[in-house]
Amino acid sequence: MNGAPGAPTAPTTAGRSRTAWTHPSLRSFRSLHRLLPDCDTVELLTVGIDVGSATFHLSVSRVVLERRTQELSTRYDVVSREPLVTSPICFTPYLPSGDIDAAAVDTAVRRCYAEGGVDPDEIDSGVVLLTGAALLRRNARALAERLAGSAGQFVCATAGHHYEAVLAAHGSGAVARSRKTPDPIVALDVGGATTKLALVRRGELLATAAVGVGSRLLAWDQDRRLVRVEASIVPLAESVGVVAEPGHVIEPEQVDAVCDQLALAVVAQLDPRAGSEGGARTMLLTDRFPVPDRPFEIVASGGVAEYFGSPVPSIAGDREAADRADRDDLRDRDDLRDRDDLRDRDDLHDLGPRLARALLARLGAAGLGGRLRGGEQRIRATVVGASQFSTQVSGSTIAVDAAALPLHHVPVVRPPLDLGSEDVDPEAVASALATSLDQRFSPQDLPGTLAVSLRWRGDPTYARLRAVAAGLVSGFGSGQPVTGVRRLVVAVDTDVASSLGRIMTTELGVERGAALCLDHLDLGDLDYVDVGRPVAPAHVVPVVVKSLLFGAVGEHSAEADPANSRFAGRADQRTPQAGHQATPEADSQGEPT
């Protein structure tokens, strides 16, 4: 069966289109790329590659950024995003061992590039994102790194519930819509193995959560014998009397019973009154989702949302259509396969169509059915988010050594510093940095390269800049480092990076390349960051802020070796706070590649 371990390895398309679609403006992009008349505009060719439990696909986009010239700032803001190449949606190929067939995926990606007329050397930035149960395969990280290495100049490997939820919220249009409505919006992305939720208000992402609910937790062959069983669904299936074992026959009514409980696990995050009975309580992968006060809208995306059908209005539709949907009884909806691609297929032999129906029923019973909207992108929401919203650029007043770039997988810490006081104490800066390191790393796991995020407050006087620089140098050392960190990336949120870097190298004896200072970046504690080479003529660097949560989604599926859930990068088992991803310990030295 397509998409199941043991299936033929050559990827097949899940929809009707079998060649990549290319926007005509890709040719005009080539004629303008890097030939801009001044330093106030930056154009990037970016890619997003999404490898999920059931399918994989990619999107190439043009992202245009302009400098805030009227504010005399070096900050660059995104002014436009345009999709240029969209691949067909292909089934994720598996080997008999349960691993993803990396060679087949790599070949398919190269073929999509060729059909779309894309040269990997033209790709400036982007991400490879592994999602759902694909994270648990033994070769997941190796696959992500392989694709990242061949997909462009600065393409980064990423994984994690929080990061995926953020990208899906952007790609579905939920974030953009939240800027136009006073009501909060919940972005609901239902994929192959996980469902991600993101709370958005007025363009700001406030919280995320993930539930182990998806269409590919169970899959069967033409005789209805189970060929794929993710271990996470076994307790839930047992709670409704269903035996979830490979080779066991599963009947339609049993599928409905399982899907009803899966839908309950999702809706319980949106309506506490729904409760969480039976095995549904075991499906939450993060802290509970902070339910906003009603009314709130739900913007649905992911492969399962493709089955919702046209009666669920799109957020791109008109108000009249939305009002009609408010009067619909969503609980009895049966027209789930009236659209193209995956939407008109019932031969995928998985939970998708019945899970969609169960979600509509549970949302309707909770009084939330009339608030449901389809995203501008559904199955492609995450990959569009990865292509168009994953990359930012620094300001142009930076201090970098191009020979030290690019850097990948650099862990970020944000020391508890108050830089608003007039007098900055270097010892306090060093102490705060040491505290952050102690909280995140054990002595034997200290990274070779570390990013420190600072929020600058107050005037950028020489005395204050030198005090901060001295504290940082004291904290990580230039000769015999106290922490073992050999390279420091300083990210500040305003135009002081160049001055900090100059003081560190010319006055404090830090070797060139051992300290890189970037401005107009606001990084969160527990993030990871990748830094690319400078982009001419603006002299900015592309930056991808990401998570690296490989192998920490839950148990592996029944067909594969249980050891597949363990990777070189160990996952921190601390419970994540709402709005954040679980924290992987540093497993990379952040060295140039």
Q: Beta strands 21-22 and 76-86: pairing type?
A: antiparallel
Calculate the dihedral angle through the C-alpha atoms of 551, 555, 560, 561, rounding to the nearest 10 degrees: 80
Locate the DSSP E strands across 493-590. 515-518, 528-531, 542-546
Q: What is the pLDDT averaged over residues 564-585?
A: 27
Strand, coil or helix: 78: strand
The label of the residue with tokens 């989702």 reads 289
More confident residue, 243 or 549: 243
Can you tell me the distance from the alpha carbon of 241 to that of 22, in angstroms, rounded to the nearest whole number? 49
Least confident of 70-84, 449-463, 539-553: 539-553
Asked whether the domain spanning 173-376 has the same topology as the one spanning 21-159+550-560, the reply is yes
In this prediction, what percent of the chain has a pLDDT beyond 90?
A: 42
Q: How many other C-beta atoms are found inside a 10 Å radius of the C-beta of residue 283?
A: 26
Rounded to 5 degrees, φ, ψ at 537 are -90, 0
Q: What is the pLDDT of residue 71?
A: 54
Q: What is the pLDDT of residue 175?
A: 95
Among 260-274, 283-297, 473-487, 495-509, name the one with the lowest average pLDDT: 473-487
Residues in the chain: 593
> In the 8-state DSSP scheme, what is residue 347?
-
Domain limits of the chain?
A: 21-159+550-560, 173-376, 397-539
Instruction: Check whether 534 has a pLDDT greater than 50.
Output: yes
pLDDT of residue 342: 38
The predicted pLDDT at position 135 comes to 80
Coil, strand, or helix at residue 500?
A: helix
CATH classification number, 21-159+550-560, choose in 3.40.50.720, 3.40.50.150, 2.70.70.10, 3.30.420.40: 3.30.420.40
Q: Provide Rg for the chain, Cα atoms.
A: 24
Query: What is the C-alpha separation between 517 and 540, in angstroms, rounded?
Result: 12
Q: Kindly state the tokens that stand for 551.
A: 């192998």
At 391, the pLDDT band (50, 70, 90 cuts) reads: confident
Task: Read off the DSSP letter of residue 292.
Answer: P
- The whole-angstrom separation of Cα 593 and Cα 591 is 6
Q: Which two tokens stand for residue 517?
A: 């200072």
* Per-residue tokens: 267: 């809706």
CA distance 432 to 426: 10
Q: CB-based burial of residue 591 (10 Å sphere; 0-12 exposed, 13-18 middle, 19+ buried)?
A: middle
- The tens digit of pLDDT for each residue in 4-55 reads 333 334 455 554 344 565 555 555 444 444 444 456 888 889 999 999 888 8
Do 303 and 379 touch, CB atoms closer than 8 A?
yes
Which residues, including other chains, have CB under 8 Å from residue 60's CB and lie 6 or more apart? Answer: 26, 45, 46, 47, 83, 84, 85, 86, 116, 118, 123, 387
Select from 267, 287, 285, 286 the least CA-distant residue to 277: 267
Q: What is the reported pLDDT for 259?
A: 97
Residues 390, 46: contact at Cβ < 8 Å? yes
Bond before 406 cis per omega within 30 degrees:
yes
- pLDDT category at 328 given cuts 50, 70, 90 is very low
CATH number of 173-376: 3.30.420
For the stretch 423-445, pLDDT in tens is 899 999 998 988 888 888 877 77
| pLDDT given for residue 426 in this prediction | 92
Residue 300 in tokens: 């649905």
Kind of pairing, strands 449-454 and 297-301? unpaired
Structure token pair of residue 393? 């650029």
φ, ψ dihedrals at 84, nearest 5°: -115, -40
Compute the mean pLDDT over every residue in the chain, rounded to the nearest whole number.
Answer: 79
Secondary structure letter of residue 94 according to DSSP? B
Comparing 215-224, 335-344, 447-456, which segment has the lowest mean pLDDT?
A: 335-344
Q: What residues have CB less than 8 Å from 320, skipping those under 6 apart? A: none
